[in-house]
Chain A
Amino acid sequence: MNQKPSKPLISTSNLPTPLDFKPGFHYGNKKNLISKNLDDTRRISFQLREELISTKKPENKSIFSVLKNVFCCHQDRNQRNSPKTTTQKPYMKPNVQQQLPAKGSQASITVSSGPNQKSLEATLIENFTQTSTATNNQMAQALNNKGESSKENSSKITKPKLLENDLFGFPVEALFILRKDVGICNLLGKIKFVDFFINDSCANLSKKSLSNPCSNLHFFNLATFEKDHDFASFKKESLARKVSMNNFKELGKNKENQDGNWTENLKTKRNTVVDQQILLNFHEQNMILDYDQWRNVTPEQCAKHTAKRVRNRGVVLDAFCGIGGNLIYVKNF
């Protein structure tokens, strides 16, 4: 079964170049962006961007082809603390804070995850706990059961201060979403493509302002987006849909195979995952994963490349096969 390379879903000629958007967006000015002292959460997106730009062919120069997976626009730090940002509506619903678990339970996550990534994960955990409304209580119960011993250390950790609007460490106001495209943001489940625009002027954007908008491309303000979709239920549906595709229930009947919270661990430890998650297209392949194997599976392109070399070579032994990422491609070729 030879898999064809995924076609670009969008014809690149019709799409707007970054200059077609209004000024004030920070498109592609690497020097201005990288010279700042970026946080670790932001730094990864820039590394990805550079890699993607370097690997792609010069034919596809438009942003949506090059940055198919991730594109983040970051705000200046000076603007971030400015009073203009107060006009932004919070991403979460106002009742969420009442539903949040106690602070000790959140901080216990950082201890269990390890001392090296305290500051980074503490930011992410807070962000995800703000966004995920319904799953908070489940996470808290699960983590309290695991990390009762680690509560003593939790009081020592000081939380980093963040704005309420922060989802990835910076305030967010709008989203671009491509439905069919495969990309990084499996956090959001069905939403595979996300652009974050952080300027106030993006509220004035609409489909009309874009020249020749694509059918796959949708524009949302967050205020309208929350009304249309309950965000927590939206994630649940998408997860359930994946699970049904993989026939995960049959395996999940045994308690050994049922690792409860690996999807939620993905959310908290997203940054470690991001690098491989580009290279893998598990959504197309209908593969089952665990979190520990998600990190360690060989990426798809490497597996294909090695499988071509190994074809017709007799007995092949995979010493640490894991899920069988290499194993599948060797048989295919």
Chain B
Amino acid sequence: MIGIDIQQKTLNFAKHNAFNRGVFDNVHLIQGDFAQMNLHRINPDVIFLNPEIVENANKENFSIFSDITPDLTYALLKSYNLCKNIILCLPKYAKIQEIATLFSTIFKRTDRFIILI
């Protein structure tokens, strides 16, 4: 089990929380930006993605592309290249049309990307 996050503070919290549960064996916490890391050696089997939501986001005018940091399309592309099992958590007030556009853009790009490789 590997956890990545940018902030060292939250990793300290995670360490403490895992310690309370007695879960700390075989858990590795890494500080770093997910977008800039080379993770090809790890060969993960499953990837979780639950990126942050901006503080002042309205539920009515919520959009995946603007109100979520970091950029979701890039994160999903990178994780798709690492492994094919991805669990993506989105808030329930996310719009379905935007999700459709997200996956459509990604699969187009991945087709091109695979051809190039």
- A-side residues, CB < 8 A to B, are 1, 113-117, 246-247, 251, 256-257, 259, 272, 285-290, 292-293, 295-296, 298, 302, 306, 310, 313-324, 326-328, 330-332
Contacts and interface: CB of A to CB of B under 8 A. Distances in A.
Contact of B20 (A257, A287, A314, A321): A287
A289 B20 CA distance: 14
A320 B34 contact: yes
A296 B48 contact: no
Contact of A295 (B8, B47, B53): B53
24 contacts: A1-B22, A251-B13, A259-B9, A288-B13, A288-B17, A292-B55, A296-B50, A296-B53, A310-B87, A313-B85, A314-B44, A315-B42, A318-B47, A318-B48, A319-B48, A323-B13, A323-B14, A324-B3, A327-B1, A327-B3, A327-B18, A327-B27, A328-B17, A331-B26
B89 A302 contact: yes
Contact of B42 (A246, A251, A317, A323): A317
B5 interface: yes
Interface of B: 1-5, 8-14, 16-18, 20-23, 25-27, 29, 34, 39, 42-53, 55-56, 58, 75, 79, 82, 85, 87, 89
A331 B87 contact: no
Nearest to B92: A275
A322 B14 contact: yes
B27 to A, nearest CB: 7
A298 B89 CA distance: 8
Contacts of A318: 1-4, 47-48
A326 B50 contact: yes
A322 B5 contact: yes
Tell me whether chain B's interface is mostly helix, strand or loop, or mixed: mixed
A256 B14 CA distance: 15
B2 A256 contact: no
A113 B50 CA distance: 23
Nearest to A327: B3
Given A114-B55, A296-B50, A324 B18 contact: yes
A247 B16 contact: yes
Contacts of B79: 319
B76 to A, nearest CB: 10
B42 A286 contact: no
A115 B49 CA distance: 29
Contact of B87 (A272, A293, A306): A306
A330 B1 contact: yes
B47 A317 contact: yes
Contact of A313 (B14, B20, B45, B55): B45
A287 B89 CA distance: 21
A319 B34 contact: yes
Contacts of B16: 246-247, 251, 288
